[in-house]
Each structure stands twice: as structure tokens, then as C-alpha cells.
Structure 1
Amino acid sequence: MDRFLYIAMSGAREVEHAQAVNNHNLANANTDGFRQALATADTVPVRGPVYDTRDYVQVGNEAADFSHGTLRSTGRDLDVAIQGEGFIAVQGPDGQEGYTRAGNLQVDGFGLLRTADGMQVMGDGGPIAIPPAEKVEIGTDGTISVRPQGAPADALAAVERIRLVNPDVEDLERGEDGLFRLPDGEEAAADADVTLVSGTLESSNVNTVEALTRMIELSRTFETQIKMMDTANTLEQSSNRLLGMG
């Protein structure tokens, strides 16, 4: 009977984890460039001195769905979206390089180019600083050009280029800050084939209808696992009473 209870308990635990992942995806359905998380689990054998036929479900490494979101035009000069594969290199809160698809950029009070989350955007020579300018343009290759204050309309000067990379997504790991990184602090090489679309943002790749449907399915599955645990407990009590009568 314990095997029945163990399987139900294990299933309920992992369904609860899957529900948390799905809820996180739903919460980021409107986050630009977000890549939905995928809940994974592995079967792990439990071996001991008495029972050697028990298996347990263990949460696996959180994977990510790297399918593309839709592009929408904003007309804003500092909004960029990656066309096709690739990532924008930024500096994470820990000082290490991370990668994102969120291109809603802004210039802070110190002239530093940052993402909407406050991450510093990296260039070929480190974090990008934008001098005071009347206009800022970002080219398809990530080159940032500015028109200095008081300069003619056609007086554009290149100041820096956004570091664009295209590492193998199989090697990327998502951190708690939402950035993707290569293992062991490695940094991806700049890739000239990665291109940007200016005045555009990429939406999250979360399908809200599918996520809501999955939330309902997971809730029902969790209830089923709990009922199985109750059934196992009832059967165990009935067995104990029968044994007691003997």
C-alpha cells in the first residue's frame, strides 16, 4: 500500500511544481522578450535495506522554450528587436555578462544605456554610454549613432555598437534575474550575423490561452493525486482492521 501512496504523493509534489512554473509564465505573458519556462521531471529509483522497488519523481533542470515571440512596431528609436536568432549582451546585477531578447532600451541620468529592468547594455568595449544628443539611432548591426545637440539634422556620428551574440541555446541557463548565461561564467563571442529591427519590440512567447488551459489541467491532476492519497489511506486503515480481526 505504501507504494500506491508514494506514487500519489510524488505525483502531487511535481504537479505543484509544474503549476508554479506555469503561473510564472502567465505572470510574464506581457514581458517583452520573455521565454517561457518548461517544467521537467525525472524518475529516480529509491533503494534501501527493505524496499528496493520504489521510484520517486525529482524536479529536473528548468528548460526554456526559445521559440520566437511576435514583433510589434512601436516607432520608438530606442526600441529594438532581434530578427531571427541571437541575444543582446547585458551586464547582470552580479557583474557577469548575461543575455536577453528584451530590447526596450533607455538612457539613464548618467548616459548609460540600460534595459527596462536596469541592466547595462554591453558594447564592444564594455557598458555603453551615450553622450548628450538630440537623436539616437540604432542600426541593424547594433551600431548606435547620435546627433549631438545643436548639430545639423544629417550630422550623425557612430559612438558604439551593441554586443550581439548567438550562443547555442542548449548551453544557456536562466538565472534568477531572468537573464540567460553560459555555464562557468563563459562569454559568448560577438556574432555579426545577428540583426536588429529598430522601432520594434518582441513580445513574450507565452500563449495565454494554452497556459490558462494547462493551469486548469494541472489543478485537476493535483486533485486526482490527493484523492489517490486519501484512497491509499482508506485502504490501509481497512487492511489494519482486517488484520486486527484475525
Structure 2
Amino acid sequence: MLFLAMNGAKHVDMQQTTTSNNLANVHTIGFKADMVAFRALPVVGQGAPTRTYVVDSTVGHNMTAGSMQQTGSDNDFAVGTAGFFAVQAPDGSEAYTRDGGFVVDDAGMMRTRSGLPIMSDTGPITVPQGMKINVASDGTVSAFPVDQGQTPIVPQTVAQIKLVNPGDRAVYKGGDGLFHLQGGGVAQADANVSLVPGSLENSNVNAVDSLVQMISHGRQFDLNIKMMQTADEDDKHANQILAIN
């Protein structure tokens, strides 16, 4: 019982870590909550065949859309349908996110606010310097030459943000917080995915549910610790009885 309880406490603590991470990202734009569950594994070896280990298992992520926050900023956009927009991950590969909004660096490259280059079908998007940038609902990026702050002239189409929808089961969330295709590769652009300019998608983490889960995990951890203490006390009493005999 000692080792079973010890394993249970360990995995409850691991699940508490996931829940705490969800709660810490309750205000992170575009964040999708990780979902966890416990599963039972049989104990192989001598002893009762009914013994099982309780193991933490991350079963996926909650892809429910978060609430829309209207900002009115031309530098903000949210994914208004199922799907993602493409970015370049730190390792150079293509990854996907719903953390909308952009900034333009000194080289004219469009990046997310976390610094990742935003991708088109042909690579990172670069826009002309000193122009007003607009993102349309279909991902089209336009540049407006402005004459001394007066009425903008005819816009120039620069590129189109790559929008994809490979399906929830086709992607996984990596340790970098970005979504990647199962088995590698890149997703094909999907014309049915659209953006909502001037808005951001809030995190879909429910703070109340996460707090309740943390309380539940704390009680389960305490229960396993008490089981370990009970097993230790039973062992001491058994040794005392054997010593008397």
C-alpha cells in the first residue's frame, strides 16, 4: 500500500501542476486549457491482482473558443472560426496559434506580440516600412501609404496570412504553447477560416472550475499522504508484535 499511495500522491501532484498552469493563463490571449484525467495501470508482480497504480494522463486540450474582446486596434485580430493562423516556431518550423495581434519590427517583418514571425504560404510576411497595415477577415494584409496623416491612398496588397484548420485531433500543443501537426509536416491553407479584425480571443480557462480542481487535487494528495502514514504505522506495529513473539 505504501508504494501505491506514494505513486498516487506523485501523479496527483503532476495533475495539480497542469491545473495550476491553466489557472496561470486565465488572461493569456488565445490560450487553450489542457485537459487531464487519471487512468489505472495494473501492478505486475507478486500480490493481489486487483492492485493498480493511479497514473496522470493528459488527454488533450480544450478547443472551445474563448470570448471575444473588441479592442478596435488595427494591430489586433482574432480567429473567428475553428482553426489557427500560422507562425514560425523558434526552431524554424511552422506552428499554429490563435494568439492574434501583430507588431512590425525594424526590418518590416510582421510578428506576434511574443516575437514569432507570422507566416503566409510562401514564408514570413514582410511589409513596407512607414505604412499603415490592415488585416482583412480573409487574412489579406494591406499597406496604406498615408500622405502627411491625410486620407489614405489606394491600399497595396502585401500578402495573406496562412489560415489553417487541420482538425482538433490532428494537432497537439507543444511545450512552447504552440500547436503542431501530429507526425510533423505543415497544414494546408483553408479558405473557410476567417479572422475578426480589431478583436482578440480571450483564454478559454474557467477560473472557478480550475480553483475547484485545485482544491480537489489537494484533498486527494492529503489522502494519499495519510495512506502512506497508515502503512508506515501498520509496519511499525507488525514489527513490535514480531519482536514480542
TM-score range, shorter chain: over 0.9
Q: Does 1:182 find its partner at 2:186?
A: no
**Paired position in structure 1 for 2:144:** 147
Give RMSD over aligned pairs. Answer: 1.7
Contact 1:112 1:127 in 2 (8 A): yes
**Partners of 1:117 and 1:52 in 2: CA distance:** 53
2:39 to 36, 39, 42: 42
**Paired position in structure 2 for 1:55:** 52
Q: Which runs of 5+ in 1 are unaligned?
A: none
Partner letter of residue 88 of structure 1?
F
Q: Does 1:129 find its partner at 2:126?
A: yes
What is the CA distance between 1:52 and its match in structure 2?
A: 6.8
| TM-superposition CA deviations, 1:91-128 (whole Å, max 9, x none) | 10011111101002111111111111111110121100
**Partners of 1:218 and 1:45 in 2: CA distance:** 22
**Partners of 2:69 and 2:25 in 1: CA distance:** 17
**Partners of 1:199 and 1:86 in 2: CA distance:** 18
What is the CA distance between 1:142 and its match in structure 2?
A: 0.3
**Partners of 2:37 and 2:169 in 1: CA distance:** 15
What is the CA distance between 1:160 and its match in structure 2?
A: 0.3
What pairs up with 1:89-108 in 2 under 5 angstroms? 89-108=86-105
**Paired position in structure 2 for 1:26:** 23
**Partners of 2:82 and 2:146 in 1: CA distance:** 35
| Structure 2 residue matching 1:39: 3-state secondary structure | strand
What is the CA distance between 1:184 and its match in structure 2?
A: 2.7
What pairs up with 1:99-118 in 2 under 5 angstroms? 99-118=96-115
| Structure 2 residue matching 1:184: 3-state secondary structure | coil
Q: Does 1:240 find its partner at 2:239?
A: yes
| Structure 2 residue matching 1:67: 3-state secondary structure | coil
Q: Does 1:217 find its partner at 2:216?
A: yes
Q: State the identity %.
A: 40
**Partners of 1:236 and 1:14 in 2: CA distance:** 24
Contact 2:35 2:61 in 1 (8 A): yes
4+ long deviations beyond 4 Å: none
Contact 1:145 1:156 in 2 (8 A): yes
Contact 2:34 2:58 in 1 (8 A): no
What is the CA distance between 1:14 and its match in structure 2?
A: 1.1
**Partners of 1:187 and 1:52 in 2: CA distance:** 49
Per the normalisation by structure 1, the TM-score is 0.92
How many residue pairs match? The answer is 242
**Partners of 2:60 and 2:129 in 1: CA distance:** 41
Q: More deviation in 144-153 or 81-90?
A: 144-153
| Structure 2 residue matching 1:60: 3-state secondary structure | strand
**Partners of 2:199 and 2:47 in 1: CA distance:** 59
**Paired position in structure 2 for 1:81:** 78
What is the CA distance between 1:8 and its match in structure 2?
A: 1.5
**Partners of 1:131 and 1:65 in 2: CA distance:** 38
Per the normalisation by structure 2, the TM-score is 0.93
**Partners of 2:95 and 2:37 in 1: CA distance:** 23
Q: Which runs of 5+ in 2 are unaligned?
A: none
